[in-house]
């Protein structure tokens, strides 16, 4: 795996968000990894597998991986090594693992809409919060594109819940 980009995390600027390229297509292994990781969520349509490792949020796509909330570059590299090892293990033990293809989460636009400020302020570039919710589910926005949600202290609980939902869907911060 080769690191392509390193950026500050949207939600916590003391952490970093890393994107790395995977040299071979691991899409076929994701249902196997889904079966062996207790806290993973598989999104078959993408496909993508999301899970947390400590505070880090890891999303694996067929040829790339993102790690959000890594402490620093060496922490991200260590997580990538850990992931490569588990993918290798799944490849070697394919015959013994019952792959899990089902997604575990179904989220509707109104579930997202209900967590947004609902002011239709337009700061995200969309004309309404509902339009933003629809585009978020299409992976055309990130939760952090809604500035009021991240700026206002009384939005903390909604922000946390939205983060849980989008992580489960394999959508980044
Ligand atoms: S920035 Fe947030 S509150 Fe404003 S319109 Fe967009 S989604 Fe709604």
Q: What is the DSSP string of 126-160?
A: SSSHHHHHHHHHTTSS-GGG-HHHHH-GGGHHHHH
107 pLDDT above the threshold of 80: no
pLDDT confidence bin for 11, thresholds 50/70/90: low
Ligand 1, atom 6: nearest CA belongs to which residue?
124
165 pLDDT above the threshold of 90: no
Mutation test residue for ligand 1: of 10, 112, 117, the one with most atoms within 8 Å of CB: 117
* pLDDT for the residue 137: 85
Q: Where is pLDDT greater, at 12 or 98?
A: 98
Mean pLDDT calculated for residue range 108-135 = 92
* pLDDT for the residue 167: 73
pLDDT confidence bin for 82, thresholds 50/70/90: very high
* pLDDT for the residue 9: 81
* pLDDT for the residue 13: 78
50 pLDDT above the threshold of 70: yes
Residues 6+ apart with CB under 8 A from 147: 123, 124
pTM listed for this prediction: 0.63
Mutation test residue for ligand 1: of 115, 126, 136, the one with most atoms within 8 Å of CB: 126
Enumerate the domain spans of the chain. Answer: 2-96, 109-169
Class assignment of domain 2-96?
alpha beta
* pLDDT for the residue 103: 67
Average pLDDT, the chain: 88
* pLDDT for the residue 102: 76
The answer, yes or no, to whether any atom of ligand 1 lies below 6 A from the CB of 126, is yes
119 pLDDT above the threshold of 70: yes
CATH for 109-169, among 1.10.8.60, 1.20.1250.20, 3.40.1010.10, 1.10.15.40? Answer: 1.10.15.40
């Amino acid at each position: 795996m080769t690191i392509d980009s390193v950026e500050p995390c949207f939600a916590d600027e003391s952490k970093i968000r890393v994107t790395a390229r995977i040299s071979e297509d691991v899409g076929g292994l994701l249902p196997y990894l889904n079966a062996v990781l207790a806290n993973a969520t598989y999104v078959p349509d993408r496909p993508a597998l999301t899970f947390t490792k400590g505070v880090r949020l890891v999303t694996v796509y067929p040829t790339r991986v993102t790690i959000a909330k890594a402490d620093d570059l060496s922490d991200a590299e260590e997580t990538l090594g850990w992931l490569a090892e588990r993918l290798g293990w799944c490849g070697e033990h394919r015959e013994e693992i019952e792959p899990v293809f089902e997604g575990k989460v179904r989220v509707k636009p109104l579930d997202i809409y209900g967590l947004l400020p609902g002011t239709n302020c337009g700061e995200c570039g969309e004309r309404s919060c509902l339009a933003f919710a629809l585009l978020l589910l299409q992976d055309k926005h990130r939760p952090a594109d809604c500035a009021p949600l991240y700026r206002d202290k009384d939005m903390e609980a909604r922000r946390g819940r939205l983060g849980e939902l989008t992580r489960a869907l394999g959508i980044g911060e």
